Amino acid sequence: MYNGVIDISHHNTIKSFSDAKQDGIMGIFHKATQGFTYFDPTFIANRDAILSAGLLFGAYHFGVAGDPVAQADFFLSKVGKDTLMVLDFEPNPQGQDMSLAEAEQFVNHIWQMTGRYPGLYSGHTIKEALAAAGITQPGQTELSNCWLWIAQYTTAPGPMIPKVWDDWTLWQYTDGASGNPPYEVNGIGRCDRDLFNGSDADLADFWSATGG
């Protein structure tokens, strides 16, 4: 496993992406959009700085209840079709949660528009949603076509994942406080850190293959 990925948003105070790269970070996911109208105000400047530092860049959309196709189109309008994309499927502290069916429609629309499925980021939310729907096999949900980014702050050597996936691709093992260390990254400080299920060379290949 390679500890070379982080995810950030406007909540993070960035000092230097170059320092983060020197600290072993290879790829960064940035929040782009939420719902139908919210666009992270730091997205463009941070994206440009991340790329200028020679880092791999990806973007995620925080899903909410309501028209998933409109949300996917809004996301695409901000990040473009060639970015490595992720749907963030978790509880919405500001309103109603995206449903399992809406998540399926969202990823289907991304696939229709780009020819690629996005990643799915989730923790207990996806496990509970699949269990409530009685889904135990990949063929029962289109979400199984997405590569899995699991959030689980455990001291175990690896995360537990839903049966509809054979394995995980990214594991968010800490939010900068809970879970196993290390929690910090030079130039950024405490942040969400993610293990990639492979080597650094595998990560570069994965990003190229799934990011357009």
The pLDDT score that the predictor gives to residue 38 is 97
Digit-coded pLDDT (tens) for 44-86: 999 999 999 999 999 999 999 999 999 999 999 999 999 999 9
pTM (global) more than 0.75: yes
Q: What is the pLDDT of residue 146?
A: 98
Answer whether 92's CB lies under 8 Å from 188's CB: no
pLDDT of residue 148: 98
* Residue 178 tokens, joined: 């809970």
Looking up tokens 């666009």 gives 39
Cis peptide before 159, with omega less than 30 degrees from 0? no
CB atoms within 10 A of CB 37: 8
pLDDT, residue 212, reads 55
Ramachandran bin of 187, using left for φ above 0, alpha for ψ from -120 to 50, beta for the remaining angles: left
- Residue span of the structural domain in which 59 resides: 2-210
DSSP track, 67-136: -HHHHHHHHHHHH-TTSEEEEE-S--TTSPBPPHHHHHHHHHHHHHHHSSPPEEEESHHHHHHHHHTT--
pLDDT at 155: 82
CATH, residue 114: 3.20.20.80
Q: Please state at what angle helix 100-114 crosses helix 124-132, rounded to 10 degrees.
A: 110
For 34, 36, 72, 113, the CA distances from 77, given in Å and listed in that order, are: 13, 11, 9, 11
Calpha distance 21→28 (Å, rounded): 10
The first and second tokens of residue 82, run together, are 């060639």
For the chain, which residues score pLDDT lower than 70?
212
Number of independent structural domains in the chain? 1
CB crowding 134-165: b at 16 or more within 10 Å, else e: ebeeeeebbbbbbbbbbbbeeeeeebebbebb
